[in-house]
A and B are shown apart, each in its own frame.
Chain A
Amino acid sequence: MSGSASPLGGTPSANDRRRRLFGSIFAITCGAATLVGVLALVVLLADVLRDGLPRFDWALLTNFASRFPERAGVKAALAGSIWILGLTALFAFPVSVAAAIYLEEYAPRNRWTRLIQLNIANLAGVPSIVYGMLGLAVFVRALGFDRSIIAGALTLSILILPVIIIASQEAVRAVPDSIRQAAYGLGATRWQVVSSQVLPMAMPGILTGTILALSRAVGETAPLIMVGAVGFIAFTPTGLGDPFTVLPLQIYNWISRPQADFQQIAAAGILVLLSLLMAMNAAAILLRNRYQKDR
């Protein structure tokens, strides 16, 4: 590589010095690029905190949306988000985990299985708004659920289905084969092997993946706009058929208004949303640790 070799420990040649300089500049550039990403995160959080903290108080959580920014709150949106979160988990979790178990433990290794697998990978890359269109056409119109919580929750369920399936498959795959062999060797049926050994061992990974997917659902806006969730709701939902709003949608509604006061309340709403997401991630970590201790 280098033209003139210098004796070890001697004065490096001009060429070697240049190579080293390039190396240092490159290393610093790479480090700086990484820091830009981190810095962007810090600036973003600082921006939201600066605008939102003055309005981040109890009244924010207990007030409904209002035409008057000083009286506006996230009560309906927070309730809607929690409804959506619970229902989406209820719909998406069992189906996704069952699908993952089928693909890892039951499916024959043939072309159909590969096709299903490829399809799931592609679904994970479909823009969320396209799921909204499916929800609009199928749940809102064809099934007649109208602009209801259940239409929203079903739409988000199919949105996060591939995400949970992929995470669950990884968790199931990580269970050592020796455990399956041991259980089969004792005369366990396939389902006994899966339910008594494989699933318990894979559960921490499955739960972590599920909660991360649910965090995505909680942050989604566009598909819910498509299925007709609205930005102005002055009551908390009481049933599956009620109209609803969620935090990101409420925030979007406030951002779209020109008054600076609404920008502040939007920032405060973002703080509520980020707190909810942080709580979910903390729950994921706690759950995982607890499961691991039980072993």
Chain B
Amino acid sequence: MPVIHDIESGGGAPALEAKHVSVHYGSKVAVSDVSLVVPANQVVALIGPSGCGKSTLLRCFNRMNDLVGGARVEGAVEFRGKNLYDPDVDPVEVRRRIGMVFQKPNPFPKSIYENTAFGPRINGFRGDMDERVETSLRQAALWDEVHDRLGDSAYALSGGQQQRLCIARTLAVKPEIVLMDEPASALDPIATQRIEELIYELKKDYTIVIVTHNMQQAARISDYTAFLYMGELIEYGPTETIFTNPREQRTEDYVTGRFG
């Protein structure tokens, strides 16, 4: 498998590195021996047909797979030189540093303010909560739309706004890496565009790994793209290369829409 060590990344050091990661559900293999480097302050897209293991791989990066009964992870995911699967690592701490945004917007049945404040609050944040909420909502490009109704229920927002609230909620914890699992797949084209613009903005401060089944989206927003097929990493490299000049035939077939 191509392990990319010499990525010429603007952000410098790798933010996350997967080393021979495999995931089993009972006897079923969902991810098989995947190794890749996520460079800091870049957007990495995981693409591939449904069931290829891209979401499962993403969930390895902040140990969300721990919550699925019967899932077994092998290999290592290194974050700042530490394997996230070492026995002394607390998955709760991992998730505080590596946040996640889900496929469907899933705000809590609480106010906009409370949704954003939840993360800092459970993390024992003692500072100025109003300021933290405002910053996070601004970063998620939602502040202007909601600043005069922070007490309203999150369910009163549109789907696209809810998803940006979920992003703000994740940013409020001040993670270093943000994982996104098809964050725009439940949204209309205009809301999708706003999310994509937002991802572009966020890259300045965060490292982002995004799963998408939408190849145009991957091409538009990501710096690096990994193509997975049946649990295996087929090809990984700069997005431009993957989409214009892939090494593997299967990658080419997929990105040109011949299967998937």
Contacts and interface: CB of A to CB of B under 8 A. Distances in A.
Nearest to A185: B100
A178 B166 contact: no
Contact of B102 (A109, A181, A189): A181
Given A181-B102, A182-B102, A189 B109 contact: no
Contacts of B123: 187
B64 A186 contact: no
Contacts of A192: 122
Contact of B118 (A108, A178, A196): A196
Contacts of A178: 102, 104, 106
B109 A295 contact: yes
A201 to B, nearest CB: 6
A188 B99 CA distance: 11
Contacts of A187: 92-97, 99, 119, 122-123, 173
B164 interface: no
A188 B106 CA distance: 15
Interface residues of A, number: 20
Contacts of A197: 108
A278 interface: no
B21 to A, nearest CB: 19
B122 A186 contact: yes
B222 interface: no
B159 to A, nearest CB: 14
A286 B169 CA distance: 33
From A108, A186, A189, A196, name the one whose CB has the most chain B CB atoms within 10 angstroms. Answer: A186
Interface of B: 62, 64, 67, 69, 92-97, 99-102, 104, 106-110, 118-119, 122-123, 153, 155, 166, 169-170, 173
15 contacts: A179-B106, A182-B107, A182-B169, A184-B64, A185-B62, A185-B100, A185-B101, A186-B95, A186-B96, A186-B118, A187-B95, A188-B92, A189-B92, A196-B118, A295-B110
Given A185-B101, A185-B170, A187-B94, 9 more contacts: A108-B69, A178-B104, A184-B67, A185-B100, A186-B96, A187-B92, A189-B92, A189-B122, A197-B108
